[in-house]
Amino acid sequence: MTTHTKPPVTPAKTPPRRRAPRRRRISGLHLYTLVLIAWLLLPIAIMILFGFNDTRSKQNFEWQGFTLRWYAHLFDKSDLTAAVVNSLTIALLSTLITTVIGTFAGLALGRYRFRGKGSTNLVLFMAISCPEIVMGASLLSMFVTFNLPRGYLTILLAHVMFSIAFVAVTVRARVVGLDPAVEEAAQDLGAGPWTRFRLVTLPMIMPGVLAGALLAFVLSIDDFVITNFTSGATVTFPLWIYGSTRTGTPPQVNVMGTLIFAVGVLIAVVSARRSARARR
Amino acid sequence: MGGVRGRLAPYLMILPGGLWLAAFFLVPLVLMVSLSLQTGNLIDGFQQTLHWQNYTDGLSTYGDKFVRSLWYGLLATVACIALAYPAAYWIAFRGGRAKSTYLFLLLLPYFVSFILRTVSWKLVLTDNGPILGPLRDHGVLPEDFHVLDTGVAVVSGLAYNFLPFMVLPIYVALERIDPRVVEAAYDLYASRAQAFLRVILPLSLPGVFAGVIMTFVPVSSDYVNAEVLGGPQNTMIGNVIQTEYFNNSAYPTASALSFALMAILLVGIFAYARTLGTQDVLEAAGR
């Protein structure tokens, strides 16, 4: 639109100057957004900070000086370490199972018309909007009725259950946006169903599958309510923290939280960078 | 498609997920309803009575907890809309190249466990904690000021924990609005307020609706915030259900309360969908 000859340099410079008065008018909302973000991050900052707190008592809410002691003694509480390991392995297993099952469900819902599609959609909607406590309570009712011992396996069964709908919906959204002509072309070129799926369909829906997998992992590792009802004597990271709120949460919990936070943010930033580069 | 195999394909693809959901979602719900109509206890066993007694007893005993749950849920949801809308609006229309960065920052809390977030929020609200403690020592706050163990603490915790669930759907709805539609409103001499009230706001309502579903249900059935932040005076129905299951082993009563909670929330959502005129509830929330 502009008459400048070097677009990469000049447009970046000129518009802000021209739009300056308009910018000032909207800065209220901008400021508000920043304050909101600060509010959301405040408890996270406190969590990180209190992982460095040189506390002597069981309570960890008064700042008593800086220390790296808790990072050095991260694995001192063996039951906490075991809980974190439980959380991680359950999250990985449930993500693996859910992604496979949910992807096929999402494909079926996004691509085909079939009898029972409407009721399947309704069940998915129910599974997404059902209160967690009702899911947990009903699973507990079932395990009690059938005298099933609760533990690692029942947690895993439950986590796969509540993640399936999210993965299916995520994949379905991706499938609906695809052009069916591409697959038909593959078929015309002689590709069998499996080859077609592996070489054409799967790569196209991969972003949806990955997003679903990430969602399933996050839902699983963070879940407290349903896990609480299905866990029996098995303890996961959230359950351990909850149990510690009565007696005092040790700083190791803050350190674990900080490390998980850091790793999560790192993965998210790296994958965002990568997909941005891939788009270019 | 390839004949019988092609016709069977969708059923084979839906089967594993469908069976899993049937076995661990639908069957448990049915069993819970059945259990809610039984009487008895863990030692002597339960008996099917098909009487509504557990419901009438449960609702009359814990009616106030139900009301408080819905009230806290409503307050937290309204707070979420009020807090989320302006930010989602700014990011969608003025975020420019930094849009995804802002969204990422809003989602950062989700990289920390829900429980840990709530515990950290408790630290913010604790009387002698790192925030309120110094404020009171310097006389900014009165000596007898405290938030913890009040309803305000619970609602603030709920709003804090579920805010991103409101921001995202509203942002998506606003982002989808064609800027030319808004420009058309200005061309037709709409003021900024008119353009917002009569064009942008109605077009963003499906997003608000999806956000309400995604926050109101989990917020009003949550019991962690009430437990950690509210103390014994501000318990919600979730706390009752949890106690009935774990401490009293009163499974029939707990089942009746759980099912009643789900029924109330679902009726609420569908009534809300009708008054708002959103025809397809599935579309709005399943997105």
pLDDT at B175: 92
The residues, ordered by sequence, that sit 6+ positions from B60 with a Cβ below 8 Å of its Cβ are: none
Percentages (nearest 5) of helix, strand, coil residues in chain A:
75, 0, 20
| Residue A155 CA: distances (Å) to CA of A40, A221, B71, B138 | 30, 11, 32, 48
Residues 6 or more apart from A133 whose CB is under 8 A from it?
A: A225, A229, B221, B222, B223, B238, B241, B242, B258, B261
Q: Please indicate, yes or no, if residue B183 is contained in any of the structural domains.
A: yes
B95 to chain A, closest Cα gap in Å: 9
For B53-80, what is the mean pLDDT?
A: 93
Q: How far is A133 from chain B (nearest CA, A)?
A: 7
- B24 in a structural domain: no
Tell me the mean pLDDT per 10 residues along chain A, length 280. Answer: 45 46 65 95 93 83 85 90 95 97 95 90 88 94 91 96 95 88 87 87 91 91 94 94 88 93 90 78
Cβ contact, residue pair A161, B20, below 8 Å: yes
Identity of the residue in A43, A130, A139 whose CB atom sits nearest the CB atom of B262: A130
pLDDT of residue B287: 41
pLDDT at A9: 44
We report the CATH number of the domain holding residue B262 as 1.10.3720.10
The pLDDT value recorded for residue A280 is 65
The domain containing residue B255 runs over which residues? Answer: 65-285
Residues of A whose CB is below 8 A from B123: 43, 46-47, 50, 61
When pLDDT is averaged across residues B223-238 and rounded to a whole number, the result is 92
pTM of the entire predicted model = 0.86
Whether B94 has its CB under 8 Å from any CB of chain A: the answer is yes
DSSP string, A102-157: HHHHHHHHHH---TTHHHHHHHHHHHHHS-HHHHHHHHHHHHHHTTPPPSHHHHHH
Residue A38 contacts B, CB cutoff 8 Å: no
B16 touching A (Cβ < 8 Å)? yes
* Buried b or exposed e, range A22-37, using 16+ CB within 10 angstroms: eeeeeeebbeebeebb
d(CA B230, CA B157): 9
Helical pair A117-129 and A152-176, crossing angle rounded to 10 deg: 120
Nearest to B177 by CA among B142, B201, B153: B201
Reference B125, options B98, B155, B89, B166; nearest CA is: B155
Q: Does B24 touch chain A (CB under 8 A)?
A: yes
Sequential DSSP letters for A26-67: HHHHHHHHHHHHHHHHHHHHHHHHHTTB---SS---S---B-
Task: Give contacts of A109 with chain B, Cβ < 8 Å.
Answer: 14
User: Where in chain A do CATH 1.10.3720.10 domains reside?
Assistant: 78-249
Tell me whether residue B113 is in a domain. Answer: yes
Q: Is residue B25 part of a domain?
A: no
B231: phi > 0 → left, psi -120 to 50 → alpha, else beta; which?
left
Find the range with the poorest average confidence among A101-110, B130-139, B171-180: B130-139
Q: Are A161 and B21 in contact (CB under 8 A)?
A: yes
CB-facing half-sphere around the CA of A186: CA atoms within 13 A = 18
Q: Which CATH number fits domain A78-249: 1.20.1260.10, 3.30.70.270, 1.10.3720.10, 1.20.58.2050?
A: 1.10.3720.10
Residue with tokens 């005129």: B277
Would you state the pLDDT for residue B3?
Answer: 56
pLDDT tens digits, one per residue of B14-34:
999 999 999 999 999 999 999
Q: Kindly report which listed range (A94-98, B129-133, B212-216) carries the lowest average pLDDT score.
A: B129-133
pLDDT of residue A13: 44
The answer to whether the CB atoms of A44 and B29 lie below 8 A apart is: no
Report the residue of chain A nearest B95, measured CA to CA: A30
User: Which of A130, A168, A224 lies at the smallest CB-CB distance from B115?
Assistant: A224
Write down the pLDDT at residue A187.
Answer: 86
Beta-carbon count within 10 A of B179 CB:
8
Is residue B171 in some structural domain? yes
Helix axis angle, A202-222 relative to A152-176, nearest 10°?
140
8 Å CB contact between B171 and B286: no
State residue A277's pLDDT score.
80
Domain membership flag for residue B176: yes
What ipTM was reported for this prediction?
Answer: 0.87
Q: Is A120 within 8 Å of B282 when comparing Cβ atoms?
A: no
CA angle B270, B272, B277 (to 5 degrees): 95
State the total domains in chain B: 1
Residues of B in contact with A209 (CB under 8 A): none
Other C-beta atoms within 10 Å of B188: how many? 10
* Position B241, amino acid: I
Residues of chain B contacting A245 with CB distance shorter than 8 Å: 115, 119, 122, 227-228
Instruction: Read off the pLDDT band of B277 (50, 70, 90).
Output: low
Query: How many A×B Cβ pairs under 8 Å?
Result: 253
Residue tagged 């709005």 (tokens): B284
Scanning every residue of chain A, which has its alpha carbon at the shortest distance from the alpha carbon of B82? A36
Cβ(A265)–Cβ(B108) below 8 Å: yes
Chain B residues with CB inside 8 Å of A225's CB?
A: 222-224
